[in-house]
Amino acid sequence: MNNRLKRFLRYNDYLFYKAHSRVFEESNSLICLLFHTLFTDETESRLRSRYPQSKLQLDDLCFIIEFYLDHGFNFTSPDGIISGLDPEKNHVLLTFDDGYYCNSLTLPILKHYNVPATFFISADNVENGKAFWWDIIYRERVSQNVSEAEIYRECVAVKKMPPVQIDTYITETFGENAFQPQGDLDRPFTPQELKSFSSEPLVSLGNHCRNHTILTKMGRLEIMREIGSAQDFLAGINNEKPGIIAYPYGDFNDQVIQAACDCGLKLGMTVEPGKNHIPLDICSRSALSLKRYIPQVGMDMRIQCELFQSDYSLYNTIRGLYHHFCSDR
Ligand SMILES: [Zn+2]
Protein backbone atom coordinates (compact mmCIF):
# COMPACT_ATOMS: atom_id res chain seq x y z
CA MET A 1 0.00 0.00 0.00
CA ASN A 2 1.61 3.29 -0.98
CA ASN A 3 1.97 6.19 1.44
CA ARG A 4 -0.48 8.48 -0.34
CA LEU A 5 -3.24 5.83 -0.18
CA LYS A 6 -2.39 5.15 3.48
CA ARG A 7 -2.70 8.84 4.34
CA PHE A 8 -5.96 9.16 2.40
CA LEU A 9 -7.52 6.17 4.19
CA ARG A 10 -6.40 7.33 7.62
CA TYR A 11 -7.68 10.88 7.18
CA ASN A 12 -10.91 9.39 5.90
CA ASP A 13 -11.06 7.24 9.05
CA TYR A 14 -10.36 10.31 11.15
CA LEU A 15 -13.28 12.24 9.69
CA PHE A 16 -15.52 9.23 10.30
CA TYR A 17 -14.16 8.84 13.86
CA LYS A 18 -14.82 12.51 14.70
CA ALA A 19 -18.40 12.30 13.40
CA HIS A 20 -19.06 8.92 15.04
CA SER A 21 -17.59 9.85 18.43
CA ARG A 22 -19.87 12.92 18.62
CA VAL A 23 -22.89 10.61 18.70
CA PHE A 24 -21.66 7.28 20.09
CA GLU A 25 -19.20 6.40 22.81
CA GLU A 26 -16.33 4.19 21.58
CA SER A 27 -16.15 0.84 23.41
CA ASN A 28 -13.51 0.33 26.12
CA SER A 29 -10.50 -1.57 24.92
CA LEU A 30 -6.85 -2.48 25.19
CA ILE A 31 -4.69 -0.52 22.76
CA CYS A 32 -1.26 -2.08 22.14
CA LEU A 33 1.43 0.08 20.57
CA LEU A 34 4.54 -1.26 18.85
CA PHE A 35 7.90 0.51 18.71
CA HIS A 36 11.28 -0.84 17.69
CA THR A 37 13.79 1.89 18.44
CA LEU A 38 13.40 5.59 19.08
CA PHE A 39 15.88 8.25 18.09
CA THR A 40 16.92 10.83 20.67
CA ASP A 41 16.75 13.65 18.12
CA GLU A 42 16.73 14.63 14.45
CA THR A 43 20.52 14.43 14.12
CA GLU A 44 20.62 10.83 15.29
CA SER A 45 17.87 9.83 12.85
CA ARG A 46 20.02 11.12 9.97
CA LEU A 47 23.00 8.90 10.84
CA ARG A 48 21.50 5.93 8.94
CA SER A 49 23.24 3.44 11.19
CA ARG A 50 20.25 1.14 11.52
CA TYR A 51 17.29 0.18 9.36
CA PRO A 52 14.70 2.95 9.74
CA GLN A 53 11.75 0.78 10.78
CA SER A 54 10.48 4.03 12.18
CA LYS A 55 11.93 7.49 12.59
CA LEU A 56 10.01 8.21 15.76
CA GLN A 57 11.85 10.03 18.51
CA LEU A 58 11.71 9.85 22.30
CA ASP A 59 9.59 13.02 22.25
CA ASP A 60 6.94 11.15 20.26
CA LEU A 61 6.76 8.53 23.01
CA CYS A 62 6.29 11.30 25.60
CA PHE A 63 3.50 12.81 23.49
CA ILE A 64 1.70 9.47 23.20
CA ILE A 65 1.97 8.76 26.93
CA GLU A 66 0.72 12.24 27.84
CA PHE A 67 -2.16 11.97 25.37
CA TYR A 68 -3.49 8.73 26.85
CA LEU A 69 -2.89 9.80 30.45
CA ASP A 70 -4.83 13.00 29.73
CA HIS A 71 -7.66 10.88 28.33
CA GLY A 72 -7.84 8.70 31.46
CA PHE A 73 -6.25 5.54 30.03
CA ASN A 74 -4.62 2.99 32.30
CA PHE A 75 -1.12 1.87 31.24
CA THR A 76 -0.85 -1.85 31.81
CA SER A 77 1.62 -4.74 31.71
CA PRO A 78 1.33 -8.41 30.64
CA ASP A 79 0.69 -9.36 34.29
CA GLY A 80 -2.01 -6.67 34.46
CA ILE A 81 -3.71 -8.12 31.36
CA ILE A 82 -3.42 -11.70 32.57
CA SER A 83 -4.89 -10.87 35.98
CA GLY A 84 -7.83 -9.14 34.26
CA LEU A 85 -8.37 -5.61 32.94
CA ASP A 86 -11.04 -3.38 34.40
CA PRO A 87 -13.77 -3.33 31.71
CA GLU A 88 -14.87 0.12 32.90
CA LYS A 89 -11.57 1.61 31.72
CA ASN A 90 -9.48 1.96 28.59
CA HIS A 91 -5.99 0.46 28.68
CA VAL A 92 -2.69 0.87 26.82
CA LEU A 93 0.23 -1.54 26.53
CA LEU A 94 3.54 -0.08 25.31
CA THR A 95 5.74 -2.62 23.54
CA PHE A 96 9.23 -2.55 22.04
CA ASP A 97 10.42 -5.35 19.76
CA ASP A 98 13.81 -6.97 19.22
CA GLY A 99 15.98 -6.13 22.26
CA TYR A 100 17.93 -3.04 21.20
CA TYR A 101 20.17 -1.64 23.92
CA CYS A 102 19.02 1.90 23.05
CA ASN A 103 15.56 0.98 24.36
CA SER A 104 17.08 1.56 27.80
CA LEU A 105 16.72 5.28 26.95
CA THR A 106 12.99 4.91 27.51
CA LEU A 107 13.48 4.08 31.20
CA PRO A 108 13.69 7.69 32.48
CA ILE A 109 10.51 8.43 30.50
CA LEU A 110 8.67 5.41 31.92
CA LYS A 111 9.74 6.47 35.41
CA HIS A 112 8.77 10.10 34.84
CA TYR A 113 5.21 9.14 33.87
CA ASN A 114 5.16 5.98 36.04
CA VAL A 115 3.97 3.78 33.16
CA PRO A 116 5.10 0.22 32.38
CA ALA A 117 6.38 -1.14 29.06
CA THR A 118 7.12 -4.58 27.63
CA PHE A 119 10.28 -5.42 25.70
CA PHE A 120 10.32 -8.41 23.35
CA ILE A 121 13.75 -9.97 23.12
CA SER A 122 15.34 -11.80 20.21
CA ALA A 123 17.35 -14.29 22.28
CA ASP A 124 20.16 -15.17 19.85
CA ASN A 125 21.04 -11.50 19.22
CA VAL A 126 21.30 -10.74 22.93
CA GLU A 127 23.02 -13.95 23.94
CA ASN A 128 25.66 -13.69 21.22
CA GLY A 129 25.94 -9.89 20.85
CA LYS A 130 24.87 -10.09 17.21
CA ALA A 131 23.71 -7.07 15.25
CA PHE A 132 20.30 -7.47 13.61
CA TRP A 133 20.61 -8.68 10.01
CA TRP A 134 18.34 -5.93 8.60
CA ASP A 135 20.58 -3.25 10.14
CA ILE A 136 23.67 -4.89 8.61
CA ILE A 137 22.12 -4.91 5.14
CA TYR A 138 20.96 -1.32 5.58
CA ARG A 139 24.27 0.13 6.79
CA GLU A 140 26.34 -1.79 4.21
CA ARG A 141 24.07 -0.94 1.27
CA VAL A 142 23.78 2.71 2.31
CA SER A 143 27.58 2.92 2.25
CA GLN A 144 27.40 1.53 -1.31
CA ASN A 145 24.83 4.21 -2.28
CA VAL A 146 22.13 1.61 -2.94
CA SER A 147 18.62 3.10 -3.03
CA GLU A 148 16.20 2.65 -0.10
CA ALA A 149 13.80 0.80 -2.43
CA GLU A 150 16.47 -1.73 -3.39
CA ILE A 151 17.51 -2.21 0.23
CA TYR A 152 13.88 -2.86 1.13
CA ARG A 153 13.59 -5.46 -1.66
CA GLU A 154 16.75 -7.22 -0.47
CA CYS A 155 15.44 -7.29 3.12
CA VAL A 156 12.11 -8.76 1.98
CA ALA A 157 13.99 -11.55 0.16
CA VAL A 158 16.35 -12.27 3.09
CA LYS A 159 13.49 -12.32 5.60
CA LYS A 160 12.09 -15.42 3.90
CA MET A 161 15.31 -17.43 4.43
CA PRO A 162 15.77 -19.85 7.36
CA PRO A 163 18.00 -18.44 10.15
CA VAL A 164 21.13 -20.42 9.21
CA GLN A 165 20.82 -19.29 5.60
CA ILE A 166 20.44 -15.66 6.71
CA ASP A 167 23.66 -15.91 8.74
CA THR A 168 25.48 -17.45 5.78
CA TYR A 169 24.13 -14.81 3.40
CA ILE A 170 25.25 -11.97 5.70
CA THR A 171 28.77 -13.27 6.31
CA GLU A 172 29.33 -14.29 2.67
CA THR A 173 28.04 -10.95 1.37
CA PHE A 174 29.47 -8.55 3.96
CA GLY A 175 32.33 -10.46 5.61
CA GLU A 176 32.98 -12.54 8.72
CA ASN A 177 32.74 -9.53 11.05
CA ALA A 178 29.44 -8.24 9.67
CA PHE A 179 27.48 -9.29 12.78
CA GLN A 180 29.66 -7.04 14.93
CA PRO A 181 27.45 -4.07 15.94
CA GLN A 182 28.75 -0.61 15.08
CA GLY A 183 27.87 1.06 18.38
CA ASP A 184 25.12 1.76 20.88
CA LEU A 185 22.59 2.66 18.19
CA ASP A 186 22.47 -0.76 16.54
CA ARG A 187 23.57 -3.19 19.22
CA PRO A 188 21.35 -5.47 21.29
CA PHE A 189 21.43 -5.47 25.09
CA THR A 190 24.12 -7.67 26.61
CA PRO A 191 22.65 -10.39 28.88
CA GLN A 192 24.00 -8.52 31.93
CA GLU A 193 22.45 -5.21 30.82
CA LEU A 194 19.16 -6.97 30.15
CA LYS A 195 19.25 -8.51 33.60
CA SER A 196 19.68 -5.10 35.18
CA PHE A 197 17.09 -3.44 32.88
CA SER A 198 14.47 -6.13 33.52
CA SER A 199 14.87 -5.77 37.30
CA GLU A 200 13.18 -2.36 36.98
CA PRO A 201 9.57 -2.61 38.23
CA LEU A 202 8.18 -0.83 35.14
CA VAL A 203 9.94 -3.20 32.71
CA SER A 204 8.58 -6.58 31.56
CA LEU A 205 10.26 -8.93 29.13
CA GLY A 206 8.52 -10.87 26.39
CA ASN A 207 9.47 -13.69 24.04
CA HIS A 208 10.49 -12.73 20.49
CA CYS A 209 11.87 -16.20 19.62
CA ARG A 210 15.41 -17.54 19.48
CA ASN A 211 16.28 -16.51 15.92
CA HIS A 212 13.67 -13.88 14.98
CA THR A 213 12.35 -16.10 12.23
CA ILE A 214 9.04 -16.47 10.37
CA LEU A 215 7.27 -19.11 12.45
CA THR A 216 4.58 -19.85 9.88
CA LYS A 217 7.23 -21.37 7.59
CA MET A 218 8.24 -23.94 10.23
CA GLY A 219 6.96 -27.30 11.42
CA ARG A 220 5.46 -27.68 14.89
CA LEU A 221 8.61 -29.02 16.56
CA GLU A 222 10.78 -26.26 15.09
CA ILE A 223 8.29 -23.63 16.28
CA MET A 224 8.34 -25.15 19.77
CA ARG A 225 12.16 -25.05 19.75
CA GLU A 226 12.22 -21.40 18.60
CA ILE A 227 9.78 -20.30 21.28
CA GLY A 228 10.89 -22.68 24.04
CA SER A 229 14.57 -21.84 23.68
CA ALA A 230 13.80 -18.12 24.03
CA GLN A 231 11.64 -18.88 27.09
CA ASP A 232 14.58 -20.70 28.69
CA PHE A 233 16.99 -17.88 27.84
CA LEU A 234 14.69 -15.23 29.37
CA ALA A 235 14.14 -17.38 32.46
CA GLY A 236 17.92 -17.31 32.87
CA ILE A 237 17.84 -13.51 32.69
CA ASN A 238 15.22 -12.72 35.30
CA ASN A 239 14.26 -16.05 36.83
CA GLU A 240 10.83 -16.26 35.23
CA LYS A 241 9.45 -17.29 31.88
CA PRO A 242 7.40 -14.58 30.18
CA GLY A 243 3.68 -15.04 29.66
CA ILE A 244 3.68 -13.02 26.44
CA ILE A 245 5.17 -13.39 22.97
CA ALA A 246 5.45 -11.09 19.95
CA TYR A 247 5.59 -13.21 16.82
CA PRO A 248 8.56 -12.11 14.68
CA TYR A 249 7.27 -9.98 11.76
CA GLY A 250 3.80 -10.49 13.24
CA ASP A 251 3.40 -13.80 11.39
CA PHE A 252 1.20 -16.38 13.04
CA ASN A 253 -1.33 -19.08 12.30
CA ASP A 254 -3.25 -21.67 14.32
CA GLN A 255 -0.19 -23.93 14.59
CA VAL A 256 1.94 -21.06 15.94
CA ILE A 257 -0.75 -20.13 18.46
CA GLN A 258 -1.01 -23.73 19.63
CA ALA A 259 2.79 -23.98 19.99
CA ALA A 260 2.89 -20.72 21.96
CA CYS A 261 0.14 -22.03 24.22
CA ASP A 262 1.99 -25.35 24.69
CA CYS A 263 5.09 -23.36 25.72
CA GLY A 264 3.06 -21.75 28.51
CA LEU A 265 2.39 -18.39 26.87
CA LYS A 266 -0.93 -16.72 27.58
CA LEU A 267 -0.74 -13.61 25.39
CA GLY A 268 0.50 -13.16 21.82
CA MET A 269 1.17 -9.99 19.85
CA THR A 270 0.68 -9.57 16.11
CA VAL A 271 1.15 -6.52 13.90
CA GLU A 272 -2.44 -6.43 12.71
CA PRO A 273 -3.70 -2.93 13.45
CA GLY A 274 -6.75 -2.57 15.67
CA LYS A 275 -7.99 -2.20 19.22
CA ASN A 276 -8.57 -5.24 21.41
CA HIS A 277 -11.98 -5.54 22.99
CA ILE A 278 -12.18 -6.33 26.68
CA PRO A 279 -12.69 -8.41 28.74
CA LEU A 280 -10.12 -10.74 27.21
CA ASP A 281 -10.38 -14.50 27.48
CA ILE A 282 -6.79 -15.31 28.56
CA CYS A 283 -5.12 -18.19 26.64
CA SER A 284 -7.86 -17.99 23.98
CA ARG A 285 -7.08 -17.48 20.31
CA SER A 286 -7.90 -13.78 20.62
CA ALA A 287 -5.56 -13.32 23.63
CA LEU A 288 -2.81 -15.08 21.66
CA SER A 289 -3.35 -12.89 18.58
CA LEU A 290 -3.65 -9.38 20.01
CA LYS A 291 -3.65 -6.51 17.58
CA ARG A 292 -1.00 -3.79 17.75
CA TYR A 293 -0.76 -0.37 16.20
CA ILE A 294 2.55 0.95 14.92
CA PRO A 295 2.72 4.76 15.39
CA GLN A 296 4.21 6.34 12.28
CA VAL A 297 6.05 9.49 11.35
CA GLY A 298 4.45 11.63 8.66
CA MET A 299 1.02 11.88 10.25
CA ASP A 300 0.00 14.09 13.14
CA MET A 301 0.56 12.08 16.33
CA ARG A 302 -2.57 13.46 18.00
CA ILE A 303 -4.68 12.24 15.08
CA GLN A 304 -3.04 8.82 15.27
CA CYS A 305 -3.68 8.59 19.03
CA GLU A 306 -7.33 9.49 18.49
CA LEU A 307 -7.67 7.03 15.61
CA PHE A 308 -6.28 4.16 17.69
CA GLN A 309 -9.42 4.45 19.83
CA SER A 310 -11.81 4.12 16.91
CA ASP A 311 -14.10 1.09 16.64
CA TYR A 312 -14.16 1.33 12.85
CA SER A 313 -11.33 1.79 10.42
CA LEU A 314 -11.32 1.33 6.68
CA TYR A 315 -7.53 1.59 6.76
CA ASN A 316 -7.23 -1.26 9.30
CA THR A 317 -9.62 -3.44 7.32
CA ILE A 318 -7.75 -2.93 4.05
CA ARG A 319 -4.33 -3.29 5.71
CA GLY A 320 -5.47 -6.50 7.44
CA LEU A 321 -6.66 -7.95 4.13
CA TYR A 322 -3.45 -6.81 2.43
CA HIS A 323 -1.31 -8.42 5.13
CA HIS A 324 -3.34 -11.63 4.88
CA PHE A 325 -3.36 -12.03 1.13
CA CYS A 326 -0.69 -9.89 -0.49
CA SER A 327 2.26 -9.21 1.81
CA ASP A 328 5.68 -10.64 0.96
CA ARG A 329 5.80 -13.24 3.65
ZN1 LIG B 1 11.16 -8.11 15.60
Task: Tell me the CA–centroid distance for residue 227 and ligand 1, in Å.
Answer: 14
Residue 61 sits at the vertex; the CA angle it makes with 10 and 260, to the nearest 5 degrees, is 80
For residue 208, the one-letter residue type is: H
Q: Does the residue 158 lie in any domain?
A: no
The per-residue pLDDT for 127 is 98
Question: 169 in a domain, yes or no?
Answer: no
Calculate how far, in angstroms, residue 158's C-alpha sits from the geometric centre of ligand 1.
14
Residue 313 lies in a domain: yes
CB 137 within 8 A of CB 51: yes
Q: What is the pLDDT of residue 329?
A: 39
Q: What CATH number is given to the structural domain containing 43? A: 3.20.20.370
Q: How far is the CA of 189 from the centre of ligand 1 (A)?
A: 14
Q: Report the separation in Å between the CA atom of 117 and the middle of ligand 1, taken as the mean of its atom positions.
A: 16
Q: For residue 207, report the distance from its CA to the centre of ligand 1, in Å.
A: 10
pLDDT of residue 328: 43
Question: Ligand 1 centre from 248 Cα, in Å?
Answer: 5
Residue 223 lies in a domain: yes
Residue 171 falls within a domain, yes or no? no
- Domain assignment present for residue 36? The answer is yes
In the reported structure, the alpha carbon of residue 97 is separated from the centroid of ligand 1 by a whole-number distance in angstroms of 5
> How many angstroms is it from 272 CA to the middle of ligand 1?
14
How many domains does the chain divide into? 1
Question: Would you give per-residue pLDDT tens digits along the chain (329 residues)?
Answer: 667 777 777 777 777 777 777 667 778 999 999 999 888 887 777 777 788 777 789 999 999 999 999 999 999 999 999 999 999 999 999 999 999 999 999 999 999 999 999 999 999 999 999 999 999 999 999 999 999 999 999 999 999 999 999 999 999 999 999 999 999 999 999 999 999 999 999 999 999 999 999 999 999 999 999 999 999 999 999 999 999 999 999 999 999 999 999 999 999 999 998 999 998 988 789 999 999 999 988 788 999 999 898 877 777 777 767 666 655 43
> Measured in angstroms, how far is the CA atom of residue 211 from the centroid of ligand 1?
10
Phi, psi of 131 (to 5 degrees): -65, 160
Neighbours of 1 (CB within 10 A): 13
Cα of 294 vs centre of ligand 1, distance in Å, is: 13
Whether 200 is covered by a domain: the verdict is: yes
pLDDT for 3 equals 72
CA of 326 to the centre of ligand 1 (A): 20
**What pLDDT, on a 0 to 100 scale, did the predictor assign at position 45?**
72
- Distance from residue 62's CA to the centre of ligand 1 (Å): 22
198 in a structural domain: yes
58-66: Cβ within 8 A, 24+ apart: 58/105, 58/106, 58/109, 60/295, 60/297, 60/301, 61/35, 61/94, 61/106, 61/109, 62/109, 62/113, 63/301, 63/302, 63/305, 64/33, 64/295, 64/301, 64/305, 65/94, 65/109, 65/113, 65/115, 66/113
| 36 CA distance to ligand 1 middle (Å) | 8
Q: Containing domain of residue 186, as a range?
A: 28-131+181-232+240-255+266-325
